[in-house]
Amino acid sequence: DQQVKQNSPSLSVQEGRISILNCDYTNSMFDYFLWYKKYPAEGPTFLISISSIKDKNEDGRFTVFLNKSAKHLSLHIVPSQPGDSAVYFCAAGPRAQKVTFGTGTKLQVIP
Amino acid sequence: GAGVSQSPSNKVTEKGKDVELRCDPISGHTALYWYRQRLGQGLEFLIYFQGNSAPDKSGLPSDRFSAERTGESVSTLTIQRTQQEDSAVYLCASSLAGTGVLYEQYFGPGTRLTVT
């Protein structure tokens, strides 16, 4: 049972445009949501997070939006840069417990 | 400061052999996770250690898999009688832990296991 779903396995975006990566979850107990970025042959690195008391968190070019009623979160990257090309994983969990990761979306930013 | 380290970085083994993978977490991180990523797949949770609590082993795929952690330091993941389906990148991550908040995990570079 996949509790965290990333339904788009890949996404291509032109440099300078907005990249929108989506993630859906099913467990209403999840309070914390994180995005990780993974380059080939490296471990994932933390990108940005949001807790359920917020609906938006922004860090530079990266913004995460949370829609609790729809159990949906999204990561916006504006403007997209070629160096953003990577696999993006969303992760979710209840407070202070283990997270569940999605299957990832491979983003390609075309120069 | 040092990040999470894993060894070996690559391991090729014959089917039926046992392998041991090592993870050195960031000092002071009480939580430690093991994940597996098969080719073209997402991160699959295996096991979670948090302080002195009993580990959450709910993700271990079979009884051939086991893991130990010495206090809040090194962890080893052991796979007995390896099968070709065990071929994957095994990732270790560590994090701070506390009530009421979910800290981000810091991942090691992974161990690529190939079972021939």
Count of the separate structural domains present in chain B = 1
Q: What is the pLDDT of residues B100-116, one digit of tens each?
A: 566 788 999 999 999 99
C-alpha to C-alpha distance for A92 and A17, rounded to whole angstroms: 27
Verify whether the Cβ–Cβ distance B109 to A104 is below 8 Å.
no
Q: Is the pLDDT of residue A13 over 70?
A: yes
B14 token code pair: 């014959």
How would CATH label the architecture of A4-110?
Answer: Sandwich (2.60)
Q: What is the pLDDT of residue A106?
A: 96
Q: Which residues contact B76 (CB under 8 A, 6 or more apart)?
A: B20, B21, B22, B23, B67, B68
- Minimal Cβ distance to B42: which of A31, A42, A101: A101
Average pLDDT over residues A33-57: 92
List the domain range (segments joined by +) for residue B14. 5-115
**What are the structural domain ranges in chain A?**
4-110
Write out chain B residues lying below 8 Å of A104, CB-based.
Answer: 42-43
- Number of inter-chain CB pairs under 8 A, A vs B: 62
Q: What is the pLDDT of residue B19?
A: 98
Residue A11 to residues A6, A64, A80, B32, B111: CA-CA distances in angstroms? 11, 17, 12, 31, 27
Verify whether the Cβ–Cβ distance B102 to A89 is below 8 Å.
no
Amino acid at B8: P
Of the pLDDT bands very low, low, confident and very high (cuts 50, 70, 90), residue B43 is: confident
Verify whether the Cβ–Cβ distance A43 to B41 is below 8 Å.
no
CATH of the domain at B38: 2.60.40.10
Average pLDDT over residues A22-35: 93
Q: What is the pLDDT of residues B2-36, one digit of tens each?
A: 899 999 999 999 999 999 999 999 998 988 999 99
